[in-house]
Amino acid sequence: MRFVTADASDLTGAGSHLIDGVLVVVSNVTPNQAEEWFIQPQQVTDTIAGLRTARVLIDRQATFAALQARAHAFVWTEELQIKADLWASTQMVGWIEEAHKGLEGLRRHDPGRLLNASFGLSWGLSHVVKVQRGILLSGDNGFFVEVAVSVGQESLWSQLRAVSFGVAEVHGRPPSLRERVVAGLHLYGLTAELIATAIQPEHAPLIEQTIQLINEQLEATYHGEE
């Protein structure tokens, strides 16, 4: 990351570069963007832990040193939890469309709908839990394991999530796309239970109706395939 002033939009060098065969990615960060890392829960969970362990190359104005000190002193506040709860509840409503795509994709055997559903019912729901629980990720690569550890790696939620991502076997083989979507649809209901205290009153009817629809249609699908 390269910290720049707010008026440095014309600064060159941002992007991906190969230097002596090594990929180097340069991204510009303005003061306003850096401030968001500490006040927006979805950004807090993605950046604070990384800031704490990051290494500085050049810091002439001690800009990064101040941010890193702030990251080390950071605590998850009640104000952040309120924001996180609202964000997570809103996201659960947003992913209802993917739940409907999943159900329709199963009915029509439609790969396009199933693929769209698969993303929302794996990555999308995982981000909901990450933010609502205030899980400070060590980095992008820690996303899968660290969220599972927070919930419980042996929990049904984590088991279904692994199937929805396609990284757990079903009957001794990799799950099919249909099986991944079915797992994700069940995961939607479990996620609602997991973050029940965060769901806003105005969102609850939509979420509850979606879970009921999922349960009814999956039961009908199973009976129809038997």
- How much of the chain exceeds pLDDT 70, in percent? 96
pLDDT band at 195 (very low <50, low <70, confident <90, very high): very high
pLDDT band at 223 (very low <50, low <70, confident <90, very high): low
Q: Which DSSP state fits 183?
A: H
Are 57 and 160 within 8 A, CB to CB? no
Per-residue pLDDT tens over the stretch 64-86:
999 999 999 999 999 999 999 99
Q: HSE, CB side, 13 Å, CA atoms: give it for residue 224.
A: 8
Q: Does 118 have pLDDT greater than 80?
A: yes
Helix runs in the chain, H state only: 31-39, 41-53, 63-73, 78-94, 96-108, 111-119, 125-132, 143-151, 156-165, 177-194, 204-225
pTM attached to this predicted model: 0.92
Say how many C-beta atoms besides its own lie within 10 A of residue 2's C-beta: 13
- Written as six digits, the tokens of 62 are 């001690």
Report the pLDDT value the prediction gives residue 31, as an integer from 0 to 100. Answer: 87
Q: Are strands 2-3 and 28-29 parallel, antiparallel or unpaired?
A: parallel
Q: Does 22 have pLDDT greater than 60?
A: yes
Are 143 and 126 within 8 A, CB to CB? yes
Q: HSE, CB side, 13 Å, CA atoms: give it for residue 177.
A: 15
Distance CA 99, CA 104 (A): 9
**37 phi, psi to nearest 5 deg:** -60, -25
Answer positive or negative: Cα dihedral of 143, 113, 219, 177.
negative
